[in-house]
Amino acid sequence: MMSYGERPRLLVVANRLPVSSKKTGENSWFMEMSPGGKFNLLGGVTDQYDTKWIGWPGFDVYNEVEKTALSKALAEMNCIPVFLNEVFDQYYNGYSNGILWPILHHMGLPQEYHHDASKTFQTQYDAYKKANRMFLDVVIENYEEGDTIWCQDYHLMFLPQYLKEYNNKIKVGWFLHSPFPSSEVYKTLPSRSELLHSVLRADLLGFHTYDFARHFVSTCTQIIGVEGTHEGVMDQGRLTRVVVLPMGIDPDRFISTCKLPEVIEQMNELKEKFSGKKVILGVDRLDMIKGIPQKYLGFEKFLEENPDWRDKVVLVQIAVPTRNAVPEYQKVKDQVHGLVGRINGRFGSVSSLPVHHMDCSVPSNYLCALYATADVLLVTSLRDGLNLVSHEFVACQEGKRGVLVLSEFAGAGQSLGAGAILVNPWNVTEVSSAIKEALTMPAEEREEKHRVNFQYVITHSAEKWGGDFLSELNEAFAESEMKIRSIPHELPQQDMIQRYYQSNHRLIVLGFCGTLTEPMNSRIKEMDFKLNPELKGTLKALCNDPKTTVLILSRGGRNILDKVFGEYKIWLAAENGMFLRDPTGEWVTNMPENMNLDWVDGVKNVFKYFTDRTPRSFFEASETSLIWSHEYAEDKFGKTQARDMLQHLRAGPISNASVDVVRGNHSIEVQAMSETKGAAIGRILGEMMNKISMTTPIDYVLCSGYLLEKDEDIYTFFESEIVPSKSFHSIKKKQISQNVLDLKKENYFPVAIGQGRTKARYVTDSSQDVVDLLHKLAAADTTTMANTFSDSELHQPRSGNTPDGKDQREPRGQTLRC
């Protein structure tokens, strides 16, 4: 555990350690920090955190003596090795880079069928899980209470789940360095749901761009049926925060490297070598996603169409070897070599070759010299998480103000787009024109574009990125901790009853679906909205009590509410207050006159289409909403149809409509966008009080429901109406002209049902707790309070529990909220 004054501890877990190790003797090693890539993130974060890296050392070690020696040497560099050995090939070349990598980069699963039974999808998937467990083991060995664990990238998608299973209190973040594809591509992955469920166990998920984050959230909603919110992904009341944080580089390192005498000398050599010629530079791993063949095709077209330029320009391409064991990478290499030969054959001469292609990496100082002398950097990635090379080029171009030609499919296209020429790499003509534009761009324009990008690169460093991610993670974690701590185990029932008894005018505001409906396990169908039979007498007693006003505030339609509550002297607010019924049964409409219901026919058509194709499904319509149920349909098929339906609806009839879509377990409801409950309650109270002659202000409020997150603003509405003193309070600001509320904090009881994360002060697991409470409130007035309930009665086991203690109450999230 961290002691006072010490820096907090951070464990960064990545596939590869940020050092390269070379064996120099029996048990001695030479270690060097790897300069590029995502290892930049160590930058300034190390100053604030006591940081350790956990990852694969880059090679196999089987001998125990050697393992110990290497671990010792790595410890000097704050690195801890994970020896993956025989698992590595199927985990890294197989599942990570042969399967996940192409999927994440929109390329689809490999089409070839291998007949090697020892290397199937399943064996690679198993190896991937096994490797993630091996990473877990090393994390556990090194974990101390309070540590932050930051998992990097697609190699470690099972790690968040494994960590939380080991200890739910561990703070876990995960950042994806690659793109996240559209759900249409992602859903072909056989293990799609397991991976999503696992990463959602993290406290914070980070992506380079809004597109990737949006794809991720919508994939989660479509594939595993969770709720996407503006903050992230909500699953059964638990929020996983999602942030967009494009990574950066360490700009100072590049700027100062360019000033080193050795580098200036290299720059001079390069200038001399290419004197009289413009230099176009490409720096990419030799990966199919980097679009090197497309780059060559564009360059070839440029030379074809601009003969004058043929002896005045060179393309220098550093093609860093990578993942040679994956068959697709071998193919792209052959393809690229073919193109280089063709272009040099067509346009080269004895004295000059247009393409200088190198299958190698170069030392970092030399790379800076190349960046600094190039006139153009050409990035044609077909998909790329970010592309740090483009940032590095900008940092090194202070002396030259060269032009960046950047693929619109690289994450960096969104951050550096304003100072670049953006291209679609698939469009050979566009790439060719962009090359010409870059080579002939006037100095002023180059200056301006460089200024914009340079400013971005120096202000959005890796240090800032790492710091921002970690502070977001701390915030997300603290918030979820607070939520857990603030959940009381029991409602303060005795207090609630006593205060109810002592009050002069009580208001009980209740939701309907999931609050007062029959529990799911005794209900025939999800859309069978019947009042919980246990409540009939209780509700009648409460409604008949002159000191109590009961309001049902529901998203449901007035037909349903009328049918269920027709016999009660109760206030009903249907469709979240669009219609209000007083206890005599008279409805008034608050429907805006200009309410647009143009979408209804389109939605009806989609519902009909799916009903025809989903045996035993059906739909119902009310004034401003339609609901489709697949309750009786075959479970898996019904769920798949529901996901497809949502896509059809979003792409078509509701794409621009003001509607709310509410997903039940077996239903989809589309309803005209109503006010939220919190926005409506002030007006409803005003209307209620206009209708009745109220002599006593409301001095007790119980407000409870199984609510959508946005409707939870009802809990805060009353919170904001609480009076600090005994003064009679006016809430004119909420459109109520009379003095209506005289509510003290201790007399206000907001109770959420089944929400892990809520704005309500009290939370209960199931609606049965609210039902029990209502029984007791109804009984409170008919007996002498002092003797009414003994403590043990007030805290007796909930009625849903069986004698063997098993909880039979309605599970969370099993019904529509309305």
Ligand X SMILES: O=P(O)(O)OC[C@H]1O[C@H](O[C@H]2O[C@H](CO)[C@@H](O)[C@H](O)[C@H]2O)[C@H](O)[C@@H](O)[C@@H]1O
Ligand Y SMILES: O=c1ccn([C@@H]2O[C@H](COP(=O)(O)OP(=O)(O)O)[C@@H](O)[C@H]2O)c(=O)[nH]1
Residues of this chain that interact with ligand X (CB under 6 A) are: 15-16, 37-38, 153, 177-178, 247, 322-323, 384-388
Dihedral of alpha carbons 286, 291, 293, 298, sign: negative
Q: Which is nearer to ligand Y, 145 or 262 (CB)?
A: 262
- Which of 227, 250, 392, 742 contacts ligand Y by CB under 6 A? 392
Site string for ligand Y, 272-311 (x = CB under 6 A): -----------x-x--------------------------
Q: Which is nearer to ligand X, 175 or 274 (CB)?
A: 175
What is the spatial distance between Cα 412 and Cα 464, in angstroms, rounded to a whole number?
Answer: 16
Q: Which is nearer to ligand Y, 157 or 318 (CB)?
A: 318
Q: How far is the CB of 320 from ligand Y (least distance, A)?
A: 5
Q: Are 611 and 629 in contact (CB under 8 A)?
A: no
388 binds ligand Y (CB under 6 A): yes
- Which of 183, 387, 432, 747 contacts ligand Y by CB under 6 A? 387
Consecutive H or E run containing 136: helix 121-142
What three-state secondary structure class fits 668? strand
Site string for ligand Y, 238-277 (x = CB under 6 A): ----------------------------------------
State the burial class of residue 350 (Cβ atoms within 10 Å of its Cβ: 0-12, 13-18, 19+): exposed
318 binds ligand Y (CB under 6 A): yes
Q: How far is the CB of 102 from ligand X (least distance, A)?
A: 13
CA nearest to 535, candidates 419, 704, 328: 704
Q: 348 — phi, psi (to 5°)?
A: -85, 165
Q: 629 — phi, psi (to 5°)?
A: -120, 135
Neighbours of 345 (CB within 10 A): 9
462 binds ligand Y (CB under 6 A): no
Q: How far is the CB of 663 from ligand Y (least distance, A)?
A: 37
Q: Which is nearer to ligand Y, 130 or 285 (CB)?
A: 285
What three-state secondary structure class fits 491? coil
Q: Are 795 and 491 in contact (CB under 8 A)?
A: no
679 binds ligand Y (CB under 6 A): no
What is the spatial distance between Cα 638 and Cα 613, in angstroms, rounded to a whole number?
Answer: 10
224 binds ligand Y (CB under 6 A): no
DSSP one-letter string for 763-778: EESSHHHHHHHHHHHH
- Which of 45, 87, 314, 367 contacts ligand Y by CB under 6 A? 367
Q: Are 643 and 222 in contact (CB under 8 A)?
A: yes
Q: How far is the CB of 411 from ligand Y (least distance, A)?
A: 9
Q: Which is nearer to ligand Y, 31 or 779 (CB)?
A: 31
374 binds ligand Y (CB under 6 A): no
Q: Which is nearer to ligand Y, 1 or 360 (CB)?
A: 360
Q: Which is nearer to ligand X, 384 or 810 (CB)?
A: 384
Q: Are 15 and 56 in contact (CB under 8 A)?
A: yes
b/e map of 39-65 (b: 16 or more CB within 10 Å)? bbbbbbbeeebebbbbbbbeeebeeee
What three-state secondary structure class fits 754? coil
Q: Which does 779 bind (CB under 5 to 8 A by kind): ligand Y, ligand X, none?
A: none
37 binds ligand Y (CB under 6 A): yes
320 binds ligand Y (CB under 6 A): yes
Helix axes 635-651, 210-224, angle to 10 degrees: 140
Q: Which does 320 bind (CB under 5 to 8 A by kind): ligand Y, ligand X, none?
A: ligand Y
What is the spatial distance between Cα 647 and Cα 599, in angstroms, rounded to a whole number?
Answer: 15
Query: 65 is written with which tokens?
Result: 């003596």
Q: Which does 16 bind (CB under 5 to 8 A by kind): ligand X, ligand Y, none?
A: ligand X
Q: Which is nearer to ligand Y, 200 or 386 (CB)?
A: 386
Site size with ligand Y, rule: CB under 6 A: 15
Q: Which is nearer to ligand X, 281 or 314 (CB)?
A: 281
Q: In the complex, which residues of this chain contact ligand Y (CB under 6 A)?
A: 35-37, 283, 285, 318, 320, 361-362, 367, 386-389, 392
